[in-house]
Amino acid sequence: MQLILLGLPGAGKGTQAQLLAQRLGLLHISTGDLFRAAAAEGTGLGKRAQEYMSRGELVPDEVTISMLLDRIAKPDAAEGIMLDGFPRTIPQAEALDRALEGQSRKIDGALYIQVPEDLLMARLTGRWNCPSCGAIYHELSSPPQQSGKCDKCSAALIQRADDRPETVATRLSTNRSWTEQLADFYQKQGKLRPVDGTGDPSDVTGRLLRELETVTAG
């Protein structure tokens, strides 16, 4: 199964992907995580991506598409994938469809996590991430047991530089119209599954799982 998680920054894609991918036996691939890993390693790709990420802009399609297509061609992606943060533009969605078709695969569903925009700023500015195991926290809604320390692996938590209010504002405006266009793209393919992303994360997971039943049934 190939699934996409759509939604504005802060909608809860990473949180839900971590809960769902393991349960469904899918490989969770986040293009944001891939870019941050490349930036931390200081590769050419990482340095180029970092320029755009720090401004809250999208990394150009040609860079993003080739990185993602390389990743999904690896053997560990053959059993199924859950894409988080890709596609973010129509050319990315079209390139993905073409590449999967070449492997006799297809996107089965695009789960669109919807959250009113006025909640997103607080979600992003309060987000804390574990740089070691990738766990996601929020200082108010899901704080770690010990402030600043990961519950799962004890590493020191970090706040992403692009979660500052001024960068968040750019990220939201950059992604707003693309997200709508992507929802339209998958709607036309009969694959869009809108899901209410408000409330407790476990409630959102329940809604996503119910929508997935309609994907597997169809």
105 flagged as catalytic: no
Which string of b and e fits 149-180 if b means at least 16 CB within 10 Å? ebeeeeeebeebebbeeebbeebbebbeebbe
138 sits near ligand AMP (criterion: CB under 6 A): no
AA identity, residue 29:
I
Candidates 52-60, 105-113, 133-141, 202-210: pick the segment binding ligand AMP (CB under 6 A): 52-60
Interface contacts to ligand ADP, rule CB under 6 A: 7, 9-15, 123, 126-127, 136-138, 141-142, 201, 204
Which residue among 1, 27, 58, 155 contacts ligand AMP (CB under 6 A)? 58
Candidate residues 7, 12, 85, 144; the one interacting with ligand AMP per rule CB under 6 A: 85
Comparing C-alpha atoms, which of 216, 161, 212, 213 is closest to residue 5? 212
53 binds, among ligand AMP, ligand ADP, none (CB under 5 to 8 A by kind): ligand AMP
**Which residues, 6+ apart, have CB-to-CB distance to 65 below 8 Å?**
91, 92, 95, 96
Provide the CB-side half-sphere exposure for 105 (13 A, CA).
16
Q: Is 179 in the site for ligand AMP (CB under 6 A)?
A: no
- Indicate the residue whose CB is closest to ligand AMP: 32
- 7 binding ligand AMP? (CB under 6 A): no
Q: Give CA 147 to chain center in angstroms.
A: 25
- Strands lying side by side in the sheet with 81-84: 27-30, 81-84, 2-6, 109-114, 192-196
- How many other CB atoms are there within 10 angstroms of residue 22's CB atom? 12
The option from ligand ADP, ligand AMP, none interacting with 31 (CB < 5 to 8 A, set by class) reads ligand AMP
The count of chain residues that interact with ligand AMP, using the rule CB under 6 A, is 17
CB of residue 117 to ligand ADP, shortest distance in Å: 13
Of the listed pieces 50-58, 113-121, 191-199, 202-210, which binds ligand AMP according to CB under 6 A?
A: 50-58
Which helix (H) or strand (E) segment holds residue 192: the answer is strand 192-196
DSSP state of 75: G
Q: Is 97 left (phi over 0), alpha (psi -120 to 50) or beta?
A: alpha
Which listed range, 55-63, 94-102, 140-148, 196-204, lies at the site for ligand AMP (CB under 6 A)?
55-63
Query: Of the listed pieces 20-28, 49-57, 74-82, 146-154, which binds ligand AMP according to CB under 6 A?
Result: 49-57
Catalytic positions: 13, 88, 127, 160, 171
